Chains A and B, each alone.
Chain A
Amino acid sequence: AQTVTQSQPEMSVQEAETVTLSCTYDTSENNYYLFWYKQPPSRQMILVIRQEAYKQQNATENRFSVNFQKAAKSFSLKISDSQLGDTAMYFCAFMKPYSGGGADGLTFGKGTHLIIQP
């Protein structure tokens, strides 16, 4: 079974600063998918970024980028020029490839509560 670990329960930074959220995972799979989702106080889960394990290039989406280290099984999220609207719970998630006709769901970490201070 896969496990996803987020070691920072809470982080707080000033607006406009850069912040990095950590995520490590454990799997025996070679191909898989990694995601960062954010969940603001509204509780709506919003996709931030997606990374395929077979791609060496780190994914980026505007101010959000990842540092994917496959050998170390590490998948950190960097938020540049942080904004008040970035305040949310951030979840790291793992998805296995298809196997035997089945489609496993996402395995989530416990989350990091990120607070952006004005």
Chain B
Amino acid sequence: KAGVTQTPRYLIKTRGQQVTLSCSPISGHRSVSWYQQTPGQGLQFLFEYFSETQRNKGNFPGRFSGRQFSNSRSEMNVSTLELGDSALYLCASSLESVGQAVRETQYFGPGTRLLVL
């Protein structure tokens, strides 16, 4: 079974631009979570989507948004880029299902490295 894939792998943007990152989960996984990794702040949770609905969101400004499609693929958008948005953005998928009590393990993609100049 193929793992989580993320595109593009590398991206260079300038301040003020916007960017869209894409994530395709493991086949059958309906939950997709996004994380930001920086040297200063470490790994921080952005948001989680399940069945096209955002179920939870981390402490990030409204410039960070996302969506999920009916095939569980997810996109993350950052508008009005700032220098501090330079980071590795990681996507993770898990085999969540409606009504289950147990949380599932999250499996990560290779990440998208974003550099804002």
Residues on A lying within 8 angstroms of B by beta carbon are: 33, 35, 37, 42-47, 50, 52, 91, 95-98, 101-111
Contact = CB atoms under 8 A, between A and B. Distances in A.
Contact of B110 (A37, A43, A98, A111): A43
From A37, A44, A102, A105, residue with most partner B Cβ within 10 Å? A105
Contact of A47 (B46, B105, B109): B105
Contacts of A46: 108
B106 interface: yes
Nearest to A42: B110
A105 B105 contact: no
Contacts of B55: 101-103
Interface of B: 31, 33, 35, 42-43, 45-48, 50, 55-56, 58, 88, 90, 92, 96, 101-103, 105-111, 113
B24 to A, nearest CB: 15
B42 A111 contact: yes
A97 B104 CA distance: 10
B45 A103 contact: no
Contact of A95 (B46, B50, B103, B110): B103
Contact of B105 (A35, A97, A104, A109): A35
Contacts of A106: 33, 35, 43, 45, 92, 106
A37 B92 CA distance: 12
B28 to A, nearest CB: 17
Given A105-B35, A106-B35, 19 more contacts: A44-B109, A44-B110, A45-B90, A45-B92, A46-B108, A91-B43, A95-B103, A95-B106, A96-B103, A97-B101, A97-B103, A98-B101, A98-B103, A103-B56, A104-B45, A105-B48, A106-B43, A108-B43, A111-B42
